[in-house]
Amino acid sequence: MEKPCILLTRSFPKLVRKRAARDYRATVNRSDTLWQGAELVARAKSMDGLLISAANKMTREVICQLPESVRIIATYSSGFEHIDLNAAKLRGIAITNTPGVMAEATADIALLLLLAAARRAREGFELISSGKWKGWAPEQLLGVHPAGKKLGIVGNGSIGRALAHRAKAIGMKIHYHNRTRLPSSLEDGAIYHGTLEGLLSVSAFLSLNCDLTSATKGMLNKKNIKLLPKGAIIINTSRGEVVDDEAIIGGLESGHLSAVGFDVYRNEPNLDSRYLSLSNVFLLPHLGSATNETRDEMGFLALDNLDAFFKGQMPPNLLV
């Protein structure tokens, strides 16, 4: 039997490409230019399946225009808000994702953001890189000590719990809010809040680890930011659309927020340029899952989904 044809829309890690080439007639986007819209549709001609990234927007229009040959789209991501699932279901196209494998790497980045924002790492680096550092001084760049502070986690799934484990190790007290309370075995001593407002009111540090949904989009707005204790620090490794940039920037400028650490943004890579001029903002370029091990695992899981589908089996991470 002839191997299925698949299109890799990005230049995924070497081992992922190697496995894809072994098991499929694989076409790879070696230039790693971002294919969207009509170009993506044209590239999909004669393909049986697509292996896409979260940056490839699979809108209703794109999905409706895909060749009839395309029967599955495997996204190299845990999130799937870039795919119109209803349109895919109507077309009879299977959609899979790669949940779970990026929890530890993303939690590392969340803790890095937390510490960097609390200890004014951006300002420290800029002081040295500008050549203006004159040596140690008693009140130079005084930050916030996380130990003993309350860390509020919004979305205490695998990433949130991995962050909680790390934060407890440096002496933080863990609180969280989910749609439903976790079993005590998974809470690991964390204090549950049935409402977001209740969590915000006690969170000296707030980490956003929730999925992007209609309920969470713009969740951290001006009204909710005011509920945080004065001087709170916000960390975001979920999705940029979860926060209202105008409200965050206003909170930083007013002093109600002492700092933020962000790895994700609205309209990536075109983030709000005002963040760049604020010294109490620590920014990373969406590095949550960016380790060799994690990116390989993501690719292997995406290929596991494709393998199962083309063997007539249920993919392990089928969405529709």
Sheet holding 94-96, edge to edge: 25-28, 5-8, 49-52, 72-75, 94-96
Per-residue pLDDT, 246: 98
134 in any annotated domain: yes
Distance (Å, rounded) from C-alpha 234 to C-alpha 195?
A: 18
Active-site option among 39, 61, 126, 268: 268
* pLDDT of 75 over the 90 cut: yes
Nearest to 235 by CA among 115, 93, 79, 56: 115
Residues 115 and 221 in one domain: yes
240 and 145, same domain (yes or no): yes
Active site residue 165: no
pLDDT in tens, 294-304: 999 999 999 99
- The CATH code of the domain that includes 202 is 3.40.50.720
For residue 235, the enclosing domain spans: 103-283
- 185-209: per-residue pLDDT in tens? 999 999 999 999 999 999 999 999 9
Residues 188 and 276 in one domain: yes
Q: Is the separation of the CB atoms in 320 and 94 below 8 Å?
A: yes
Residue 315 lies in a domain: no
- The partner residues of 75 in beta bridges, in order of sequence, read 52
Q: How many domains does the chain have?
A: 2
Q: How confident is the model at residue 1 (pLDDT cuts 50, 70, 90)?
A: confident
Q: Is 25 among the residues known to form the active site?
A: no
Cα 245 from chain centre: 17
104 catalytic? Reply is no
Q: Please, what is the angle between helix 103-118 and helix 158-169, to 10°?
A: 50
Confidence band, pLDDT 50/70/90 cuts, at residue 218: very high
Q: Give me the catalytic one of 175, 193, 239, 295.
A: 239
Tens digits of residue pLDDT in 232-249: 999 999 999 999 999 999
pTM: 0.95
- Shared domain for 43 and 122, answered yes or no, is no
Average pLDDT over residues 268-293: 97
Average pLDDT over residues 61-82: 97
Q: Are residues 229 and 149 in the same domain?
A: yes
